[in-house]
Chains A and B, each alone.
Chain A
Amino acid sequence: KNEVEQSPQNLTAQEGEFITINCSYSVGISALHWLQQHPGGGIVSLFMLSSGKKKHGRLIATINIQEKHSSLHITASHPRDSAVYICAVTYGNKLVFGAGTILRVKS
């Protein structure tokens, strides 16, 4: 059984700050996903990665397979980045989700 842990649970930042959200998992995986969930509930995929680093705009995701750890970074944060960020891992034929990090960016 794969456990996915995220930290922090809640994060409040000022606009412009650099943000890091961490994810660790207990069992070897083939891929890790970072997802974004807005207050309305819909889930949007941000990244899927199995090694190294990916960048999309102000978002950067890294993964260290040996340490079973991934980070999501947001540079120059903006109030519109306020959402729940969820880490999930591909485990067998399904995704196993972390509890999510509630991010609030204040202007």
Chain B
Amino acid sequence: EPEVTQTPSHQVTQMGQEVILRCVPISNHLYFYWYRQILGQKVEFLVSFYNNEISEKSEIFDDQFSVERPDGSNFTLKIRSTKLEDSAMYFCASSTGTSSYNEQFFGPGTRLTVL
């Protein structure tokens, strides 16, 4: 069964460093999402992406964040200069569409630890 994959599973970085989190969505999906979950808190929406551009982003998704689909399979989230408060689990998701009938499929997550 097709699934969303994410790498790495755990990333440790120093404050101020750039990190790139990678996702491979399900191959026939067109819509891609990043969510994050700070330990002990709700899952929060970061950004949605369609047709090579951002379709919606949250207040969290400031200039330090960017997303890219560099080739036909990968979808990346870049954090330019990490802060301690960026430590969280980051989930990628994909779907075939955005209507209420399109289920989002989640990857296993990348745990980012900023020291």
Using a CB–CB cutoff of 8 Å, the interface residues on chain A facing chain B are 29-31, 33, 35, 40-45, 48, 50, 86, 88, 90, 92-100
Contacts and interface: CB of A to CB of B under 8 A. Distances in A.
A42 B103 contact: no
Report the 7 A-B pairs with minimum CB-CB distance, sorted nearest first.
A30-B100, A31-B100, A94-B45, A43-B106, A97-B43, A42-B108, A93-B56
Contacts of B103: 33, 45, 48
A41 to B, nearest CB: 5
Contacts of B41: 99
Contacts of A94: 33, 45, 48, 56, 58
B111 A50 contact: no
A97 B42 contact: yes
Interface in B7-51: 33, 35, 37, 41-45, 48
